[in-house]
Amino acid sequence: MDFKGRTALVTGGSRGLGRAVCLELARGGANVAFCYAGNEAAARETVRDVEALGAKALSLRCDVSDAAQVDALVKAAVEAFGRIDILVNNAGITRDNLLMRMSEADFDAVISANLKGAFLCMKAVSRHMLKQRYGRIVNLSSVVALRGNAGQVNYAASKAGIIGMTKSLAKELASRGVTVNAVAPGFIETDMTAALPEDARAAAQGSIPMGRLGAPEDVAKAVGFLASDEAAYITGQVLAVDGGMSM
């Protein structure tokens, strides 16, 4: 994909899927701004890897559930690179538990980070994209939004909400050259899935028709396609990258 002259903003870009997305866009020539929650060492590593690909990088610490911090993040990215062409909402957390044991605080934390955070970022960035009459927004949902998962009522709700927001915003922005799509990863080899008990990992792998967990690069390439000019006539869609798990 050719992203020369483009600027991307990726939330949660220091590790896992976010880092893979940053690198995929940088390979295509995009300058990459990304935010991270707290792991400064990981953020520095992502900056180094992006710059090694010949792209410019900017990392900023940001709580995406805080509107003032999101506005400051977007302002810094525009000041550094002049524009934002691509937004990838990847930042997210989990607070898993069965519903009867789930605290209100854990429910609120996941909805705030995963759903409200995506809302705030889209609201802040869409202003710039509307003025440009160009933009690509790609939101990271999840296979659990499509099929549910025991112990993840809060996470599934947040990721299903992202699909609803994606389709609604796609209708609002389509006439101005801005597309809004979602990618729904299945079980991917990341820090999040590495923390699963072995029996849970085995059960997950057994439910995947392709018989393996995905790699972050599998998701990043799908994001890259939806962020590209080749996907100019695709909007309001959800692309499952899950080895057939949601069939």
Catalytic residue annotation:
155
Judge contact between 112 and 93, C-beta under 8 A: no
Q: How far apart are CA 47 and CA 158, in angstroms?
A: 29
Phi then psi dihedrals of residue 138, to 5 deg:
-125, 120
